[in-house]
Amino acid sequence: MEKLELRYEGKAKRVYATDQSEYFWVAYKDDATALNGKKKGQIADKGEVNNQLSALFFEEIEKAGILTHFVKVLSDRDMLVRCLDMIPLEVVVRNIVAGSLAQRLGVEEGFVLSQPVVELYYKDDELGDPLVNESHVAAMGWASDANTKEIQVLGLEINKILRAILVKAGIDLIDFKLEFGVLDGKVYLGDEISPDTCRYWDMETREKLDKDRFRRDLGGVEEAYQEVFRRVKKVLAKA
Ligand code: 5GP
């Protein structure tokens, strides 16, 4: 597999064309941004953790029969993925109130929701990824009604899969963000599943083990990323 020209550079990843047109080469970076790009920094070895942790989660999700863009790990920081026609939405699933939901509803972080909440955000950095609902999606033509339903159902199924793994690692899955795309008429999970895109709290100490350590200047950012990776690897090695 040959890495060809850079096709797209995001905040956390570079995406390259390959000699096979149906695949992209994704290179994970250590760059970190928060507060809608206003806060910038680096998290040492984040690229390695996010690549390899995402790969572990994608494999488990595939085992459950859900299609993902993941093909294989190419190196510590690189993975091969299928090219998808991306749906311009972020699907956020929440089990416990934190972050923007705590602010929006005036509820304390840590409030346990009686059932998971699924939210849709329109993916647009300049607008700060606004919260939208199904009627916005339909009226703007961002996704078909069937695909809008499907990505929300998949979000809830993926929530169950991730929670089952993380509970064995002593980690509460507070919330997370997914992105989906379409290939040959079918919906695939894309992007990544990592401490950049999820909130993880230690079940005993309630310590944050995710990007909130960077966003909120809590220190111990690298250690938290490594700790989640170490624990998940151990759980899946035993499975
Ligand atoms: P919140 O809406 O509370 O800021 O985020 C909810 C969850 O989705 C968190 O786990 C957060 O990491 C993730 N999330 C939401 N939007 C983004 C985004 O634009 N980029 C990343 N990396 N994660 C996001």
3-class SS string, 170-192: CEEEEEEEECEEEECCEEEECCC
Which protein residue's CA is at the shortest distance from atom 18 of ligand 1? 197
Quick one: average pLDDT of 213-223?
Answer: 98
Cβ neighbours of residue 11 closer than 8 Å, sequence gap 6 or more: 31, 32, 33, 37
Cβ neighbours of residue 230 closer than 8 Å, sequence gap 6 or more: none
Spatial separation of the C-alpha atoms in residues 148 and 86, rounded to whole Å: 13
Spatial separation of the C-alpha atoms in residues 223 and 183, rounded to whole Å: 37
- Calculate the average pLDDT of the chain: 98
- Residue 31 CA, ligand 1 centroid: distance in Å: 16
Looking at residue 36, what is its pLDDT? 82
Q: Is the CB of 28 under 6 A from ligand 1?
A: no
The residue assigned the tokens 């190196």 is 75
Ligand 1, closest atom to CA 101? 3
Q: What is the bridge-based pairing of β-strands 70-75 and 112-122?
A: unpaired
Cβ neighbours of residue 20 closer than 8 Å, sequence gap 6 or more: 1
What domains can you pick out in the chain, each with its CATH number?
Answer: 3-82 (3.30.200.20), 85-237 (3.30.470.20)
What is the percentage of the chain residues whose pLDDT exceeds 90?
97
Which protein residue's CA is at the shortest distance from atom 23 of ligand 1? 197
Residue pair 42/34 in contact (Cβ under 8 Å)? The answer is no
Report the residue among 92, 109, 119, 221 best suited for mutation to probe ligand 1: largest number of ligand atoms under 8 A from its CB.
92
Confidence band, pLDDT 50/70/90 cuts, at residue 37? confident
Confidence band, pLDDT 50/70/90 cuts, at residue 166? very high
Residue 8 has pLDDT above 90, yes or no: yes
Confidence band, pLDDT 50/70/90 cuts, at residue 239? confident
Q: Is the CB of 212 under 6 A from ligand 1?
A: no
Report the residue among 94, 103, 109, 177 best suited for mutation to probe ligand 1: largest number of ligand atoms under 8 A from its CB.
177
